[in-house]
Each structure stands twice: as C-alpha cells, then as structure tokens.
Chains A and B, each alone.
Chain A
Amino acid sequence: MDAVAHIQAGQPTSTPWRYRLDEMAWRDLVEGLKHDSLPFVGLWCDGTDIHALFMPHDMQPLAATLALESGRYPALSPARPVSSFYERMIFDLYGAEAMWGTDVRPLVDHDVWQNSMPLAPVPGAAGDNKGMVAVQPSDAMQAASGTAMGSGPATGGYETPLHVAMVCEGETIRHAETVSGYAHRGMAQRWHKCRVDEANRLSGRYDAGCSAAHQAAFCQAVEHACGQQVGHEVSQLRLVVLELERVTQHLFTLATLARQAGARLVASRCMWLRESLLAKAAPVIGSRLMMDHSVPGGVNLRDTASMGTLCEQIADLAEEVYPPLVTLWQSYPGLSARLAGLAVVESTLLERVGLDGPVARAGGGECDYRRAMRAYEGLWHFNGGRHNGTLEDRAAILLDEVGESLRIIKALGPRLGLSAGGRIELTYEDGEGTGLAEGPWGAVLYWVRLKNGRVDQVFMRNPAYSALMAFEAVLPGQNVADIGLIRTSLGVSAAALDG
C-alpha cells in the first residue's frame, strides 16, 4: 500500500481530506514514507492531536491525524528531514516529544520566555536565562576543527535577526549552524480564537515581502472552510497584487545581492525600478508592502477601478526599463564572475530538504504551483532558465521571473476593466480549509480551522525551514565574507522561520 492509500485507510474525519490514524498506523506511515515520494507539507500540533499534511497532487491536500497520547508521537523526520524543524517547534510550544526525531535541540525557546511550553495545557515555568542565547552545537560542530566564529543576530544591517555559528579554517567555513528564535512572536497563540479579520492582519505580518502571498493563502483557506469560492474578478485582482509583490520583492533581493557583490550601480538601478513601480502602484493598491489587500471573501484596494490602468502603466514602465536592466545585470563588469559557482544548491539537496520556489527552480526543480492554479490559466508559462543551482543562477532566475511577472501583469490589465471586484459574504461555520499561493520564495500554504465564528487554529507552511537547511548545508567550503550574499540568495528570513 502506498502512503496515500495508507492514510486514506485511516478513520475519516469531518474534514474530507483528513484521516485519523492510530499510533501503529502512524509508525507504518513513517516507515512507508521512507520509500515513497509523497510531497510533505508540514507537521503541526493543536494541543490534542498531531497533524501531518501532504500534497499528493497539486492543490489537493491530504492530512493524517494522530491523538497525542502521553505527550509523545513517532517523529516524521527520519523519513522527511525538514520535519525536524516542525518537531522542534512543537516541543518548544507544547512540550510534545517526537520519538526518534533526528534533531532534538531547541528551535525557538532558549530558556528566556515567560513560560516554557507556553501552549501546553499546563505551561511550564519561566526560563532561567537572563543573558544572551548560548549556541548549542551539534556533535558534528563540536567535532569540526578550526576557529569558532559567529555572525548576527544584530549586524547593523536591515535583515531579520538570526545567528550563524561557524567553525572556520582561515576564511573558509568548515561547518555552520544557525540559532533561530530571535523573532518568535508566538503566531500560533495569537491566531488561536482570534477574529477572522484580525487573524488575516496577522498573516500579513508573518513575513514582510511575502505578505500578499500569506494573506491570499489565508483568505483562500477561510473561504475553503466556508465552502465558498471568490469570483473570477476577485481572484484576478489578487493575482495582480501577488505578481506585483513578486516583482518588487525580487527586485529588492536583486538590489541587495548586487550591493553585497559590490555592484552598486546595478543595485541602485534595481532599487530605482522597484521604487518607480511602487510610486505608481502604492496609491492605487494602498500600501508599498502589499499588506491587507486580500480579505476573506474579497479584496481591499484603495482604488479598485484603477487596477486595469495601473497594469497598463506598469507594463509601459517595464517595457522601457526592464530590458536595459537585464543587459546591465548580464554585462556589468565582474558581477557574473563574483557570483559564479557560489553556494551551489544541487537537486539532491533540494530533494532532501524539500525546498521549492525560485531557489529550487534555479537548481533544476520544476516546482511552481501557479502551473496548477485555475486563476493563472493562459497567464503562466514554464520559464526554462539556468538550473545549475549556483548563486549566479538564482539571481538569473529572479531576474527572469521579474520579466515573467511583469508580462503577467500586462496580460491581466485588459481583463480587469473597471470592475470593483465584488465580495462574497462569508458565514463562518465550523470547518477546516486550506489555501495556497506561490509566494516570492515558494509555496505559502494555510490550513485554517474555524470554530464558533472565529479562527480556532492556523497551521502555516512556507519555504523557510527548507531554505534554512539548504543555507546550513551549502555554507561549508564558502568564504566567511559571503554569508550575507548566500543568505540573501536563499531568502532566509528569521521572521518567516520563527513565527
């Protein structure tokens, strides 16, 4: 029996795509997954049950649930390495232990919180540590020989707080591990029993730069839970915001990469194009970072009727400015040589860590959920591009995707007309739903459970854990001065990681 059939042989629940397994069946599932390629989405706890979510086919969720008895459950990490992050988070928040987990170090609780296990039925005592977080090195790190070095969480830069502990030989990194949790805001607790509109606002502030993707996925999940679907006009308006977010976020990343690589002129051209686009878009959409424009049942834009015109204006600007930017990027003296061959993310690593998004596409992966989304029909095309997984390839893919998204925005313009979009009234019945958006760094998925007219639980998946695993894996052999460049190219965000 394959893993899908194994899950579906479990006890059906009130949610048609979720099945309850007993502990033996869960153990068999873990064993089966070692020889099955079923795409894993994430693992979460709600205090009573453990839930594992899979995506057997594009956009088709399948979940397995296990009652959390005696505070322990068989880990999924022996079969899906990225699950270790979810398991560590579950332990930190609920105190539930993943038996045979591949990594049991704390993820976000470093003994400084007001309560340990804050979401457990009986939270633990406050942490004892009043000082800086100490690195807990793995056995591999302890065995590595060289000079211990560290970077972050406060570098004076603009990035979110993360510590990278390294062992170096000269300037070459031999081993690297990260310490996260500095940006942990307790999102799971904040979402619990929250008003739906407030929960949506929180989603928009999970990870800036991907706010539109988070809120589009959250809203879809709520609509799915209510058994409703927004109309074509609304979904097209959401696409404009999503694609504009991709364009502006990729330009932001490219500008940062160019600056970190010493190509200041290229950086300023990327930033200038981004600011020019935002100068046109923000007054129509209502914000620069695309926050709060998807709302359950519809959109919330400052001037919806002007969205079609905005698309035309963006297309005109893009036609004038984008081709010279590509030429500048490709021909700028030394830029290509600086990025070539750096921090290669190969397909085997991608597979191991389950990474998607542009980083995976630059390494040969064909993962892009837009391919399967009805709203993108006739808009999205497969974008070949370079795929050797180097930092240079990742930058090239981002630049290609800027062009591709600008093309999509241009194509969306005439479809929008002067429509105000329309909005469906949702009645928040008890239920569960999922929603998915292809964000700038990959798939953002929400699983929302509604109860008594409010949000009961939110489970969120983004590429952050996989990106962090890839980051740690590619650092050995790299120059210590390139940490920032490599981190930027992989989209490692502490806000996205820590929750």
Chain B
Amino acid sequence: MGLIRAVFDASFRQSTARRKPAGPRWPLMLFHVDTGGCGGCGMELEALATGPYDMQGAGFSFVSAPQGADVLLITGALTYTMAPVLEAAWKAMPTPKGLICVGNCAIDGGIFSENYSLMGGVSRKVHINLRIAGCPPTPKDILDGLCSLFAQHSKATGAAQAEAGVSSSSTTSS
C-alpha cells in the first residue's frame, strides 16, 4: 500500500548505557491511532497512562497531535477506512520517528484476519520497530515492551505488579 516506511532513530536504543537520551526528545512522545479493533488494546493503554503504572516516570507520554510525536503507536487490525488516516498521521510526524504495534490485531490482524474491509495488521506492509503482542497485552506488558526500547525494566507498583502474567503475551523488538 505504500503506506509507511518506519525509520526509527537508532540513537533511541543503540546504547543501553545511555538510558535516557538527552535533549528535547525525552520523554518519548507517543501518538495513538486505533485502526479498527475491539477497543481492548486502547482500554489497556488508557489504564497504563492513567492508572498506577507511572508511565511518565518511565519516560513515555501520549500526545494529542502527530506533529509532536516521536512514535506512532498503532492498535487495531487496520481497516481500509483507517489506512489513509494512519498515513496522514505518519506524514505529519517529524523525523526521526518510529512505529510500535500494540496487540495482535495491529501486528498481523490477530483474530481479525484480512477481509473485504480490513488489511489484517501492518506487519507484512511496513517495518515495525516494536511489537507488543497479546489480545490484549496488559498495561504492564505494554510498559515492559516500551521500556525494552531502552533496556529498562518497568517499576510498576502495587496493583500493577499483581496483574503480571495474567494475560499471555510476548514482546519483541526488531
């Protein structure tokens, strides 16, 4: 589809010694686009951002416009209707920029395989910098995945810790 070619700035994850890149690009700003799923991954993102997970303390924040984002964070299985919206968001982001898929849907469609209305995720179409699998991944899975960009471990507390291992998911970066 010629939609996106994500080129993630290697400086974000080259050196594990330099965990917090200096300069104006910290914290890492995420712009979320739900491209058509059940909404579960979006709910877990909201729980992560507003619940007791200290996402900001770990160095991540959501922004409301792509122009201020470092990373495009996709949930949902990518409908044909959302594809131009996603492309516009990507184009509006400044470089360097990266692409993160949260949830099985966003990666390869998950339970929603390709059909007349839906592309079935982005993995066969674009380069993904980080995949956080699960249906949905828990907030802690998502935070661990994000922290893996900098080889950190999340320090989620209390209730957040107790949910670890509740939902099967895996995290891979490429």
B79 CB within 8 Å of chain A: yes
> Would A272 and B159 count as touching, CB distance under 8 A?
yes
A residues 218-275 in Cβ contact with B at 8 Å: 252, 255-256, 259, 267-268, 271-272, 274-275
Give, as a whole number of angstroms, the nearest-CB distance from B56 to chain A.
13
Instruction: Collect the chain B residues with CB atoms within 8 Å of residue A386's CB.
Output: none
* A185 B112 Cβ-Cβ under 8 A: yes
Give every chain B residue within 8 A of A279 (Cβ-Cβ): 158-160, 162-163
- Write out the residue numbers on chain B whose beta carbons fall within 8 Å of the beta carbon of A133: 81
A residues less than 8 Å from B33 (CB atoms): 154, 156, 161
Pair B84/A131 contact, Cβ less than 8 Å: yes
Q: Which of A113, A274, A494 contacts B116 (CB 8 A)?
A: A113
> 8 Å CB contacts to A: which residues of B144-174?
158-160, 162-163, 165-167
B42, closest chain A residue (CB): A158
Instruction: Given A271-B50, A272-B52, check contact A283 B84 (CB 8 Å).
Output: no
Residues of A within 8 A of B112 (CB): 185, 190, 205
A127 to B158, CA, bound (A): 50
* Residue A495, interface by CB 8 Å: yes
A494-B118 Cα distance, complex, nearest whole Å: 15
Most buried by A among B36, B65, B112, B135: B36
Chain B, 105-143, CB within 8 A of any chain A CB: 111-112, 115-118, 135-136, 138
Interface of A is mostly: loop
Query: Are B76 and A275 within 8 A (Cβ)?
Result: no
**Cα of A133 to Cα of B86 in the assembled complex, Å:** 13
Q: 0/1 per residue, A166-196, Cβ < 8 Å to B? A: 0000000000000001111110011000000
Question: A130 in the interface, Cβ–Cβ < 8 Å?
Answer: yes
Q: How far is the CA of A378 from the CA of B118 in the complex (A)?
A: 46
Using Cβ atoms and an 8 Å threshold, which residues of chain A touch B32?
Answer: 156-158
CB-CB < 8 A to B52: which residues of A?
271-272, 275
Determine whether the beta carbon of B80 is less than 8 Å from that of A114. Answer: yes
A388 interface contact, C-beta 8 A: no
Chain A residue nearest to B113 (CB atoms) is: A190
Interface size on A, residues (CB 8 A): 63
Measured in the bound complex, the distance between the Cα atoms of B82 and A82 in whole Å is 26
B51 within 8 A of A: yes
Interchain nearest-CB distance for A348 vs B (Å): 30
CB neighbours (8 Å) of B76 from chain A are: 161, 183
Q: How far is the CB of A282 from chain B (nearest CB, A)?
A: 4
> In the bound complex, how far is the Cα of B162 from the Cα of A272, in angstroms?
13
A208 touches B39 (CB 8 A): yes
Beyond A185-B112, A275-B47, A275-B51, is A291–B117 a contact (Cβ under 8 Å)? no
A130, B83: Cα distance in complex, Å:
9
B64 and A112 contact, CB distance less than 8 A = no
Specify which chain A residues have a CB less than 8 angstroms from the CB of B167 in the assembled complex: 282, 287-288
Cβ of A76 < 8 Å from any Cβ of B?
no
CA distance A289 to B135 in the complex (A): 10
Per a CB cutoff under 8 Å, which of B42, B65, B80, B158 touches A113?
A: B80
Is B4 close to A, CB under 8 A?
A: no
Chain B nearest CB from A212 CB (Å) reads: 12
Residues of A contacting B8 with CB < 8 Å? none
Contacts of A159 in B (CB 8 A): 34, 39, 42
Specify the chain B residue showing the minimal Cβ separation from A258. B50
B101: CB under 8 A from chain A? no
B99 at the interface (CB under 8 A from A): no
A114-B49 Cα distance, complex, nearest whole Å: 36
Q: Are A283 and B166 in contact, with the CB atoms below 8 A?
A: yes
Q: How far is the CA of A275 from the CA of B117 in the complex (A)?
A: 35
Task: Give the shortest distance, in Å, between B79 (CB) and chain A (any CB).
Answer: 6
Q: Does A155 contact B (CB under 8 A)?
A: yes
Interface residue B46 (Cβ < 8 Å from any Cβ of A):
yes
Q: Enumerate chain A residues within 8 angstroms of B42, measured Cβ to Cβ.
A: 158-160, 208
Is A433's CB within 8 Å of the partner chain B? Answer: no
B24-46 residues at the A interface, CB under 8 angstroms? 31-40, 42-46
Chain B nearest CB, measured from A136 CB (Å): 14
Chain B residues near A309 (CB, 8 Å)?
Answer: none
Q: What are the residues of chain A within 8 A of B158 when measuring CB–CB?
A: 275-276, 279
B117 close to A113 (CB less than 8 A): yes
User: Nearest-CB distance from A220 to chain B (Å)?
Assistant: 20
A185-B85 in contact given A208-B38, A272-B52, A279-B163 (Cβ < 8 Å): no
Q: How far apart sit A210 and B174, CA to CA, in the bound complex (Å)?
A: 34
- Known A189-B115, A287-B167: A208·B40 in contact at CB below 8 Å: yes
- Interface residue ranges, B against A (CB under 8 Å): 31-40, 42-47, 49-52, 62-66, 69, 76-77, 79-86, 88-89, 111-112, 115-118, 135-136, 138, 158-160, 162-163, 165-167
**9 closest cross-chain pairs (CB), A and B:** A208-B40, A279-B162, A158-B46, A275-B159, A279-B159, A156-B64, A205-B38, A118-B116, A183-B36
29 example contacts (A-B, Cβ-Cβ < 8 A) are as follows: A110-B81, A112-B81, A112-B83, A115-B116, A127-B80, A133-B81, A153-B82, A153-B85, A154-B82, A156-B32, A156-B65, A159-B42, A160-B34, A161-B35, A183-B37, A185-B36, A185-B112, A186-B117, A189-B115, A205-B38, A259-B50, A271-B52, A275-B47, A275-B163, A282-B163, A282-B166, A288-B138, A288-B166, A288-B167
Beyond known contacts A156-B62, A211-B38, A271-B52: 4 more, CB 8 A cutoff: A158-B46, A161-B85, A184-B118, A252-B47
